[in-house]
């Protein structure tokens, strides 16, 4: 249980998790919580708050977090906070406020370009103001919402080949939108609007070739597309009947077609592209409610998964 | 009123004779005369087809010291030819002129292609009919063949996507690389229906600006509502919006709404109305005396003759409010808080107001836009299509402004007009895709027609398909001729090349046209083919010409 600055108990929640690309060696990961941003250097066993350095009068929630793909060299961390965004260039030791155009947006999702080292591009999805884009490593931001007919953005997912295909996806209240020009304009996809809200998205690591992506919804389970979002089909109805809070694909998908789907109280893993599913973790462990997941060491049986819970804890499963 | 219409009124009546009996022309003279008129118009426009066109010099409407008009746009050229002295030939000429002007209005381009296709079909068709062919069967099978051609073109079309491809295509239309690059970027962002305003700049450069959200004509009704007079712009965050076309005369009309807004702890209100009296404006200004607590601005409802209600309904969908319309008897009496729209930000200056991040239902917005897109596809009138497109553009999240500069005022004007024409053609290309250019896409349609001809049992069925197949070569032949090549020398080689390959008259080689960047808008080309074939099929059934008498008119007062 977290505590507020005055020592009173605080109902905490983990909104998002992010792990260092070099996690297997450095064990670094971050948890965006209601009580602020926390960092672990031992693979999620212990955590320390990072916002103390800000010397605030009240606790500052962290609603989302994302790391640079070259975190080990540039230390770039981006954190969504109510009304804005903070960024650190030294792994969370020091923070600066990123300037977003008013009115102050609520950051619901963050995504960093796979080519960040060269292009410096970061995207921020917001609850009412659509998608903001930065091209200078998060210093300045602009809203780019042409064609984004639903500005309630709940999740973002970027193509691994962004440098060439300039493609990314936004999951919103009413469905999935796609940009093919690096986030400067959006178009509707074929996702059925009645199946929204879309809480989670995952793009295949081989997207440039296979055009595969998955979308997790609030009430209608998991959807799959193999034509870049033009058409969708619902999958795993029996195993995943309702909310999908997070989706991860194995790093070598589709050769190793591992999928991880986080429902509100279960962690489901498929090793055959979604045909069959098994549970990871026990009901007792997850009964507090699952909110976020990270798989920094992959999907192997012995790989540790980090699962964020609605009570603020992070489990190592 | 256009100068052409004015001339029509004077020129045609002067040809009338005294007798009231209409002039009637029967066959074979009817065919001969109509064909003469058609050939005249088509032959005037034919030289303008292709990337190396020739131009047409036309006497100015008002003689004097002005030199001839030099034109290379087939639609405009056709429009300049008002009447022929021979009234029978004039019937044919005016028939084709009408077809070409409609093509120009609807598609903005493709008139020369329409003209040469029409001419070929008509001339071949007349030859068959005077030899005993059945004109009604001819028409029926030509229209069947048309459907096959259109299906084939649709299957060949590839999407025009991406900034680079759009810019490349734009350059083939405007021959202005910087302008093409700018248009490529703009349309890649705003999309085919996106709102784009093209304005003349004062300097030499091209500039563009992107404006988030929707904006409408109709500015602030009081300069006192500017928070910062130096900026001449008022902005409100998390505002509610009263959407109406009413004339608000008394402050009392606003009191109930104002109270509801205050009780809901909302700090910003935008009032949209056709008119607000000084007294009512004063009420809003007094209510806004402490902007930290509450602020209200009032803007004029967008003025659009015949379309204001539709624009207000669009605003209502965008913001989740209800349009309060005088036309249906609405007043402010029944307006509740939930009838007000909401937006994350609204702004207004002297001329416009805007809404950013309207809080209407996204599903309702998407459904509304889908309806507008369907209406756009059905609309036949170019003005109606333009209005619908503007509405779609306003609802899709933003717009762009392009300022076009040049080296002189004349250059700026010409460049701006070119930008407008190119933008129009780009919209069609982005919507319907692009095809291999230089006539290659049409040549690729011949094999299906040839099969249909081979399978036909009767000459009245076989001949129309062969006519179409031959006519589809005409644009390529004309482009070759205009560029100084002998068609007979090159058509054989082109016919042996693979589908999609054609003769690039600039390089002098047979190439994959799409890869070489020689592409045509699928929308424009399909319209051109449709116009040419269906109109020529109709023209071939003209059997008798009747010229009505008009009372003699004099130019004397």
Which chain A residues are within 8 Å of B237, Cβ to Cβ?
Answer: 102-103
Q: Which of B304, B335, B360 is the last residue of a domain?
A: B360
Phi then psi for residue B329, to 5 deg, are 85, 10
Residue B25 and residue B142 in one domain: yes
| Angstrom distance (rounded) from CA A168 to CA A157 | 6
Q: Residue B162's closest chain A neighbor by CA?
A: A181
Separation CA B192–CA B215 (nearest Å): 18
Answer whether B466's CB lies under 8 Å from B453's CB: yes
Q: Contact, A167 vs A133, CB < 8 A?
A: no
Name the residue with higher pLDDT: A252 or B2: A252
Q: With beta carbons under 8 A apart, name residues in chain A contacting B359.
A: 128
User: What is the per-residue pLDDT across B187-217, written as a single tens digit (0 to 9) for each?
Assistant: 999 998 888 999 999 999 999 999 889 989 8
Integer-rounded Cα Rg, in Å, for chain B is: 29
- State the SS3 of A132-168: EEECCCCCECEECCECCCCCCEEEEEECCCHHHHCCE
- Contact assessment for residue B514 and residue B158, using Cβ atoms and an 8 Å cutoff: yes
Mean of the pLDDT values across residues B262-273?
A: 96
Which residues form the domain of B346? 215-360
Q: Is the pLDDT of residue B163 over 90?
A: yes
Looking at the domain assignment, is residue B282 inside a domain?
A: yes
Looking at B339, B360, B381, which one is the last position of a domain?
B360
- Is the per-residue pLDDT at B398 higher than 60? yes
Q: What is the mean pLDDT of chain B?
A: 88
> What DSSP assignment string belongs to B487-539?
HHHHHHHHHHSPTTEEEETTTTEEEETTTTT-EEEHHHHHHHHHHHHHHHHHH
State both tokens at A261.
């789907």
Q: Are residues B122 and B235 in the same domain?
A: no
Nearest to B58 by CA among B76, B46, B38, B83: B76
Q: What pLDDT, on the 0 to 100 scale, is given for residue B454?
A: 94
Question: How many residues make up chain B in this entry?
Answer: 557
Q: What is the DSSP string of B133-201?
A: --HHHHHHHHHHHHHHHHHHHHHH-B---SHHHHHHHHHHHH--HHHHHHHHHHHHHH-TT-EEEEEE-
Q: What is the pLDDT of residue A10?
A: 62
Contact residues on chain B for A173, CB-CB shorter than 8 A: 362
B144 domain residue, yes or no: yes
**B263, B132: one domain:** no
* Residue B42 counted as domain residue: yes
The mean-pLDDT minimum among A26-40, B13-27, B177-191, B437-451 falls in B13-27
Q: Which residues make Cβ contacts (< 8 Å) with residue A159, sequence separation at least 6?
A: A165, A166, A167, A168, A203, A207, A208
Which of residues B432, B458, B489 is at a domain's end? Answer: B432
Q: Is the pLDDT of residue B10 over 50?
A: no
| pLDDT average, residue stretch B393-420 | 92
Question: Looking at residue B405, which CATH number applies to its domain?
Answer: 3.30.260.10
Both B305 and B198 in one domain: the answer is no
What residues of chain A lie within 8 A of the CB of B210, using their CB? 146
State yes or no: pLDDT of B7 exceeds 70: no
Cα Rg of chain A (Å, integer): 18
Q: Are B151 and B16 contained in the same domain?
A: yes
Return the C-alpha torsion angle B152, B154, B157, B160, nearest 10.
170
Contact A130 B357 (CB under 8 A): yes
- Same domain membership, residue B404 and residue B335: no
- For position B469, what pLDDT does the model report? 97
Closest CA to B214 of B419, B324, B402, B360: B360
Answer whether residue B554 shows pLDDT above 80: no
Q: What CATH number is attached to the domain comprising B279? A: 3.50.7.10
Q: Which of A129, A149, A180 sits opposite B161 (nearest CB)?
A: A180
* Same-domain pairing of B15 and B125: yes
The CATH code of the domain that includes B120 is 1.10.560.10
Find out whether B396 and B191 touch, Cβ atoms under 8 Å.
yes
Supply the pLDDT for residue B226: 84
Question: Is residue B29 in some structural domain?
Answer: yes
Mean pLDDT of chain A: 93
* Model confidence pLDDT, tens digit, residues B277-314: 999 999 999 999 898 899 999 999 998 766 899 999 99
CB-nearest to A145 from B194, B212, B395 is: B212
Query: Are both B190 and B129 inside the same structural domain?
Result: no
Stretch (H or E) spanning A259 = strand A259-262
Write down the pLDDT at residue A110: 98
ipTM of the complex: 0.89
Quickly state the pLDDT bin for B463 (edges 50, 70, 90): very high
Of A128, A146, A185, the CB nearest to B357: A128
- What the block records as the tokens of B467 is 């006519």
Mean pLDDT of all residues in B81-103: 86
Q: Which residue has the tokens 């009296």?
A: B277
Report the share of chain B in percent with pLDDT over 70: 93
d(CA B35, CA B88): 9
More confident residue, B485 or B11: B485
Give percent of chain B above pLDDT 90: 64
Check: CB of residue B184 under 8 Å from CB of residue B177.
Answer: no
B344 contact residues in A (CB cutoff 8 A): 103, 128-129, 151
Which residue from B272, B224, B216 is spatially nearest to B248, judged by alpha carbons?
B272
Contact residues of B toward A, CB < 8 A: 161-163, 188-191, 194, 210, 212, 237-238, 344-345, 357, 359, 362-363, 365-366, 369, 395-398
- The residues that bridge with B71 in the sheet, in sequence order, are B56
d(CA B550, CA B335): 59
Chain A, chain B: beta-carbon pairs less than 8 Å apart: 66
Pick from B194, B359, B397: CB nearest A148: B397
Q: What CA–CA distance (Å, rounded) separates B346 from B270?
A: 8
Task: Please state the φ and ψ torsions of residue B546, each to the nearest 5 degrees.
Answer: -125, 120
Question: Please, which pLDDT band fits residue B382 given cuts at 50, 70 and 90?
Answer: confident
Mean pLDDT on B530-538? 96
pLDDT band at B13 (very low <50, low <70, confident <90, very high): very low
Divide the 317 residues of chain A into consecutive groups of 10 and give the mean pLDDT of each group: 57 92 95 96 95 89 96 96 94 92 92 97 96 95 94 97 96 97 95 96 96 97 97 95 95 92 92 91 83 89 89 92
Cα B7 to Cα A76, A160, B10, B79, B314: the distances in Å are 73, 64, 5, 12, 42
Domain count, chain B: 3
Alpha helices in A27-142 (DSSP H): 71-74, 116-119
A217: closest CA of chain B, how far (Å):
16
Please give the backbone phi and psi of residue A141, each rounded to the nearest 5 degrees, phi first: -135, 150
As a whole number of Å, the end-to-end CA separation of chain A is: 20
Q: Establish if B379 belongs to a structural domain.
A: no
Do B144 and B20 belong to one domain? Answer: yes
Q: Which of A102, A172, A185 sits opposite B191 (nearest CB)?
A: A185
Chain A residues within 8 A of B190 when measuring between CB atoms: 146, 185
Which residues face A305 on adjacent strands?
A: none
User: DSSP per residue over B416-483, as a string?
Assistant: HHHHHHHHHHHHHHHHH-EEETTTHHHHTTHHHHHHHHHH--SHHHHHHHHHHHHHTTHHHHHHHHHT
Phi and psi, residue A200, nearest 5°: -150, 150
Comparing CA positions, the residue from B169, B147, B149 lying closest to residue B159 is B169
Which residue, among B189, B188, B172, has the nearest Cα to B180 in the 3D structure? B172
Lowest mean pLDDT among A235-239, B38-42, B170-174: B170-174
Interface of A with B (CB under 8 A): 102-103, 128-130, 143, 145-152, 172-174, 180-181, 184-188, 193
Residue B382 lies in a domain: no
> Is the same domain home to B448 and B340?
no
Alpha carbon distance B342, B391 (integer Å) = 19
Reduced to 3 states, what is the DSSP secondary structure of residue B71?
strand
Best of B189, B314, B359, B394 to disrupt the A interface by mutation (most A CBs within 10 Å)?
B189
Q: Judge if pTM exceeds 0.90.
A: no
Residue B370 within a domain: no
Same domain, B300 and B401: no
Predicted pLDDT of residue B230: 73
In a shared domain, residues B287 and B307: yes
Q: Is residue B552 part of a domain?
A: no
Q: Give the integer Cα–Cα distance in Å for B321 and B514.
A: 48
| Residues of B in Cβ contact (< 8 Å) with A143 | 212
Cα dihedral B490, B493, B499, B501 sign: negative
């Amino acid at each position: 249980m977290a505590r507020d600055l005055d020592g009173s108990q605080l109902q905490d929640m983990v909104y998002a998790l992010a792990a260092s690309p070099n996690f297997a060696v450095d064990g670094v990961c971050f948890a965006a919580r209601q009580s602020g941003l926390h960092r672990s250097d031992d693979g999620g066993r212990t955590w320390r708050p990072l916002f103390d350095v800000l010397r605030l009068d009240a606790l500052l929630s962290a609603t989302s977090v994302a790391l640079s793909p070259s975190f080990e060299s540039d230390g770039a961390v981006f954190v969504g906070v109510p009304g804005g965004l903070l960024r650190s260039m030294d792994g969370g030791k020091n923070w600066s406020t990123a300037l977003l155009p008013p009115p102050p947006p609520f950051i619901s999702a963050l995504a960093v370009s796979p080519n960040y080292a060269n292009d410096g591009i970061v995207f921020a999805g917001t609850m009412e103001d659509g998608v903001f884009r930065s091209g200078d490593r998060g210093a300045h931001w602009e809203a780019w919402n042409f064609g984004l007919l639903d500005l309630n953005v709940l999740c973002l997912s970027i193509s691994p080949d962004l440098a060439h295909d300039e493609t990314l996806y936004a999951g919103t209240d009413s469905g999935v939108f796609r940009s093919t020009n690096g986030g400067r304009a959006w178009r509707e996809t074929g996702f059925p609007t009645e199946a929204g809200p879309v809480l989670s998205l995952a793009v295949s690591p081989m997207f440039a070739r296979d055009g595969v992506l998955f979308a997790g919804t609030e009430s209608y389970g998991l959807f799959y597309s193999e034509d870049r979002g033009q058409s969708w089909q619902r999958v795993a109805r029996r195993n995943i009947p309702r909310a999908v809070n997070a989706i991860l694909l194995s790093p070598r998908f589709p050769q190793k077609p591992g999928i991880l789907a986080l429902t509100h109280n279960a962690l489901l893993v498929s090793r055959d592209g979604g045909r069959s599913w098994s549970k990871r973790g026990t009901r007792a462990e997850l009964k507090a409610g699952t909110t976020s997941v990270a798989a920094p060491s992959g999907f192997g049986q012995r790989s540790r998964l980090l699962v964020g819970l609605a009570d603020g804890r992070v489990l190592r499963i | 009123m256009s100068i052409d219409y004015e001339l029509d009124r004077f020129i045609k009546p002067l040809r009338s004779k005294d007798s009231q009996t209409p002039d009637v022309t029967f066959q074979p003279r009817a065919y001969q005369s109509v064909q003469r008129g058609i050939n005249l118009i088509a032959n005037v426009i034919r030289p303008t087809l292709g990337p190396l066109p020739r131009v047409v010099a036309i006497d100015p409407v008002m003689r004097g010291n002005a030199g001839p008009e030099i034109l290379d746009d087939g639609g405009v050229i056709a429009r300049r030819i008002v009447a022929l002295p021979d009234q029978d030939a004039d019937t044919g000429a005016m028939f084709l002129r009408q077809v070409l002007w409609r093509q120009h209005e609807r598609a903005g381009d493709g008139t020369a292609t329409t003209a040469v296709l029409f001419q070929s079909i008509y001339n071949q068709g007349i030859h068959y009919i005077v030899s005993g062919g059945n004109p009604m069967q001819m028409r029926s099978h030509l229209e069947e063949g048309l459907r096959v051609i259109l299906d084939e073109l649709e299957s060949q079309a590839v999407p025009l996507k991406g900034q680079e491809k759009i810019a490349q295509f734009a350059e083939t239309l405007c021959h202005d690389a910087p302008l093409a690059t700018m248009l490529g970027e703009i349309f890649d962002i705003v999309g085919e229906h996106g709102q784009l305003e093209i304005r003349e700049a004062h300097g030499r450069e091209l500039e563009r600006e992107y404006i988030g959200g929707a904006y409408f004509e109709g500015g602030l009704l009081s300069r006192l509502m500017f928070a910062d007079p130096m900026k001449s712009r008022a902005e409100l965050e998390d505002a509610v919006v009263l959407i109406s076309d009413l004339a608000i005369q008394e402050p009392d009309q606003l009191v109930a709404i104002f109270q509801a807004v205050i009780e809901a702890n909302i700090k910003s209100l935008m009032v949209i109305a056709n008119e607000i009296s000084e007294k009512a404006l004063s009420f809003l200004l007094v209510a806004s005396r402490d902007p930290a607590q509450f602020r209200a601005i009032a803007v004029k409802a967008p003025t659009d003759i015949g379309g204001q209600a539709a624009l207000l309904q669009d605003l209502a969908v965008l913001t989740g409010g209800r349009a309060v319309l005088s036309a249906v008897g609405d007043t402010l009496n029944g307006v509740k808080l939930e009838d007000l729209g909401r937006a994350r930000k609204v702004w207004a200056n002297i001329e416009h107001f805007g809404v950013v991040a309207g809080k209407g239902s996204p599903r309702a917005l998407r459904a509304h836009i889908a309806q507008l897109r369907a209406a756009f596809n059905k609309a036949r009138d170019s003005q109606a299509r333009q209005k619908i497109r503007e509405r779609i553009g306003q609802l899709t999240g933003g717009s762009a402004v392009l300022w076009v500069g040049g080296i002189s005022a004349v250059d700026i004007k010409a460049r701006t007009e070119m930008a407008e024409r190119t933008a129009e053609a780009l919209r069609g290309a982005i919507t319907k895709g692009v095809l291999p250019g230089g006539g290659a896409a049409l040549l690729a349609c011949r094999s299906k027609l040839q099969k249909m001809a081979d399978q036909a049992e009767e000459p009245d069925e076989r001949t129309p398909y062969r006519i179409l197949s031959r006519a589809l070569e005409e644009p390529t032949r004309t482009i070759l001729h205009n560029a100084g090549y002998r068609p007979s020398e090159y058509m054989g080689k082109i016919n042996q090349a693979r589908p999609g390959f054609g003769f690039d008259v600039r390089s002098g080689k047979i190439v994959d046209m799409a890869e070489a960047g020689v592409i045509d808008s699928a929308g424009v080309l399909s319209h051109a083919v449709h116009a040419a074939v269906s109109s020529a099929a109709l023209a071939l059934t003209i059997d008798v010409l009747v010229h009505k008498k008009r009372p003699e008119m004099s130019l004397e007062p």
